Structure 1
Amino acid sequence: MDINYQALINEDYERLNKELEHKDSLEVLKWAYREFGENLVYSCSFGVEGMVLIDLISKVKKDATIVFLDTDFHFKETYHLIDKVKKRYPSLNIELAKPDLTPEEQKQQHGDRLWERDPDACCNIRKMVPLERELSRYDAWISGLRREQSPTRANTQFVNRDNRFKSIKICPLIHWKEEEIWMYVKLHQLDYNELHDKSYPSIGCEYCTKPVAKGEDPRSGRWANLAKTECGLHK
């Protein structure tokens, strides 16, 4: 690999994104796996964007590694979807990353229903720390962020400096619109989380995800009634 996070400066990211500016998602993925090879991992939440990315990745690297942050608090529908994906793409290496604390240990150490009292602390224990552990094994990671998802994601590039995880974050879907995501899913008859058909446009942990009314911000169902829209992975 000829890209090193520690050596890159802002101008390098600008140059890389300029070179990839007119590439499509598949070409960006081919570039990423060519540059990083086995040192590239996809951190997937198994939302609808994830289904598209998994299918695209399977066309580039059939044995790619995908990591899912299994907080122990996900909907049963999410776990069922993961089983379907494993059957459809048997060559992919899908890993479920667990927190250091079981739900019971978290309750004993931090009290009951931490996600209500201090959602940032809960996300840190069950998402941030596990992902930090997983990403420490790789030089770069793939994310399904799209610019139209929220104002905090509007400036996302194909190749991003990730100061939080001391890594490089590759986002191949930044230009995709929601209708394009669903068109791809329907065209290729991909499995997806059935909660999307029940007014859940963005799906996280069961305790912190609510259905969204038509016309509302798609991420308003995440940590509803709290001044929180991100778990911290993409800040």
Structure 2
Amino acid sequence: MVGALNARLTHHGATDVLRAAFVAVPDIALVSSFGAESVVLLHLAAMAKRDVPVIFIDTEMLFAETLVYQQEVAERLRLRNVTIIRADDVARADPDGTLHQRDTDACCALRKTQPLQTALAPYSGWITGRKRYQSGSRATLDFFEVEAGTGRIKVNPLARWARADIVEYMDENRLPRHPLVAQGYPSIGCAPCTSPVAEGEDARAGRWRDQDKDECGIHFVNGKMVRTGAKT
């Protein structure tokens, strides 16, 4: 199914990809960080299906601006089905909130990856905002993938968008910006692990700065980025 969808939609845009996803995978959810560029995918999805389930992971280490922005965007787009999830065992596993200082991978697994996998259990697929330009590991991203280990379909409607496309879409539709973008944060995650980006730096340079890490892990299986889209 995935291979056929990618072939059929090769020359189509994000809206067509979303509509095809809603037909092919009726029980699908959209996962959003409500970060710097998230409003574009949320707006596109809301136009196609207002009641699409939206999952937002509150790691309890997010910027206050992100929490406020999440509420603003949900109200502005009239999203009818937003679920906010949190880890169940933070008090036991990270009682003093310092795990990120010792092991960022373990912190991401505790606060993001594990809660998301639990939240996605009832669904056969999920929609992401990943794009090819964001990192080398995403350079060959397809619209549709099969998630190794779970068999869920992953849909990446914005895979082929450029950064200029994102900005243009926001401008044309007068979408609200995340307030931290204007303060030098083009990519926004948890507050302790996100720093401003200097002019000329890669947009994701402020994520886990000075560490050999550029993904939180929600798109990994057993610690590795795995895609099997071309095989199904």
In the alignment, what sits opposite 1:100?
88
In the alignment, what sits opposite 2:222?
none
- Is 1:132 matched with 2:117? yes
Secondary structure of 2:189's counterpart equals: coil
In the alignment, what sits opposite 1:57?
45
- Across the aligned residues of Structure 1 and Structure 2, the Cα RMSD in angstroms comes to 1.4
Shift of 1:57: 0.7
In the alignment, what sits opposite 1:180?
165
- Is 1:166 matched with 2:154? no
Code of the aligned partner of 1:180? D
- Is 1:90 matched with 2:51? no
TM-score (norm 2): 0.90
Code of the aligned partner of 1:101? D
In the alignment, what sits opposite 1:211?
196
Structure 2 counterpart of 1:227, from 203, 208, 212: 212
In the alignment, what sits opposite 2:5?
16
Give me the whole-angstrom Cα distance separating, in 1, the residues matched to 2:47 and 2:115. Answer: 28
Alignment gaps of 5+ in structure 1: 1-11
Give me the whole-angstrom Cα distance separating, in 1, the residues matched to 2:193 and 2:149. Answer: 23
- Is 1:80 matched with 2:76? no
In the alignment, what sits opposite 1:35?
24
In the alignment, what sits opposite 1:196?
181
Q: Superposition pairs for residues 106-117 of structure 1, below 5 Å?
A: 106-108=93-95, 112-117=97-102
Give me the whole-angstrom Cα distance separating, in 1, the residues matched to 2:4 and 2:22. Answer: 18
Alignment gaps of 5+ in structure 2: 220-224, 226-232
Code of the aligned partner of 1:130? P
Code of the aligned partner of 1:167? R
Give me the whole-angstrom Cα distance separating, in 1, the residues matched to 2:69 and 2:80. Answer: 15
Give me the whole-angstrom Cα distance separating, in 1, the residues matched to 2:106 and 2:38. Answer: 25
Give me the whole-angstrom Cα distance separating, in 2, the residues matched to 1:91 and 1:97. Answer: 16
In the alignment, what sits opposite 2:230?
none
Q: Kindly indicate whether the alpha-carbon contact (under 8 Å) linking 2:36 and 2:188 is maintained by their aligned counterparts in 1.
A: no
Secondary structure of 1:95's counterpart equals: strand
Decide which structure has greater helix share: 1
Secondary structure of 1:194's counterpart equals: coil
1:23-74 Cα deviation digits (max 9, x unpaired): 110000010111222x110000112331011111111101111001110110
In the alignment, what sits opposite 1:8?
none
1:141-190 Cα deviation digits (max 9, x unpaired): 00001101110100110001111543110000011111110111111111
- Is 1:47 matched with 2:35? yes
Identity rate, percent: 36
